[in-house]
Amino acid sequence: MASMVERMTRAARLDVSVYEEVENDATAMGQATLVVVLASLAGGIGSYGETGFAGLIGGAIGSLIGWYIWAFLTYYIGTKWLPEPTTQADTGQMLRTLGFASAPGVLRVAGVIPGIGFIALIVAPIWMLCAMVVAVRQALDYSSTARAVGVCLIGFVVQLFVIFAIALTIVALSGGSAGPPAA
C-alpha cells in the first residue's frame, strides 16, 4: 500500500494515476479521511488569527461534513444527470478521490506567516478546486474535463443551497435570531 504522504504529494501534483489508485483502493478511506482532517486543521491554523480555537475545531468538523455532502452531490450529479457511457462509480470511490483532492489544502498552514500568509489562504483553495476537478473526472471515468468542471459547478451551487437551508433551519429552531440574546 502506498504511503499517505506519497499519495498526498501525487494528488497535489494533480497526478491522474493517484486518483485512479485511491478510487480502486477501498482500504484508502482512512487515509482520505485523514487528508481531509489535516487540510481542514491546516486551514484552521492558517487562519487562527481570525477564527481562534473554535474555528479550528469547527473547521475540521465542517470540512468532514462538507466532504460527505460534496461527495454525494458530485456522485449523484455525475452518475444520474451527466453520465458518460463509461461512467461507473460509487460514493466510496468519490469520497476517496475527493478526500485526496484536499491535499493542497495542507498548505493553508502557511497562512500564519506574517505578510505573505494570505497568499497561501488564496492559492490553496484554488489548487484544491483544480484537484477536485481531476478527482471527479477520474472517479466518474469521464473522458472530458469540461464535464467534470460542469459537475463541480452544479454541485457547488447545490451545496450552497443546502448549506443555506441548514443555516435557515438552525436560525428558525433557535428562535429566529442569529445574533446573541438581548441584554
pLDDT band, residue 181 (cuts 50/70/90): low
Instruction: Name which of 86, 65, 66, 71 is nearest 147 in CA terms.
Output: 86
Q: What's the grid cell of residue 177?
A: 435570531
Beta strands of 16-136 (E only): which ranges? none
Contact 46, 59 (CB under 8 A): no
pLDDT band, residue 178 (cuts 50/70/90): low
What pLDDT, on the 0 to 100 scale, is given for residue 96? Answer: 98
CA 147 to chain centre: 18
- For 180, residues 6+ apart whose C-beta sits below 8 A from its C-beta are none
- If you count them, how many residues does the chain have? 183
- For 17, residues 6+ apart whose C-beta sits below 8 A from its C-beta are 10
What's the half-sphere exposure (Cβ side, CA atoms, 13 Å) at 134? Answer: 25
What pLDDT, on the 0 to 100 scale, is given for residue 48? Answer: 74
Contact 103, 135 (CB under 8 A): no
pLDDT tens column, 85-125: 999 999 999 999 999 999 999 999 998 899 888 899 899 99
Q: Cα–Cα distance between 57 and 59 in angstroms, integer?
A: 5
What pLDDT, on the 0 to 100 scale, is given for residue 55? Answer: 72
What pLDDT, on the 0 to 100 scale, is given for residue 62? Answer: 79
Percent of the chain topping pLDDT 70: 95
pLDDT band, residue 183 (cuts 50/70/90): low
Residue 179 has pLDDT above 60, yes or no: no
Residue 175 has pLDDT above 80, yes or no: no
pLDDT band, residue 61 (cuts 50/70/90): confident
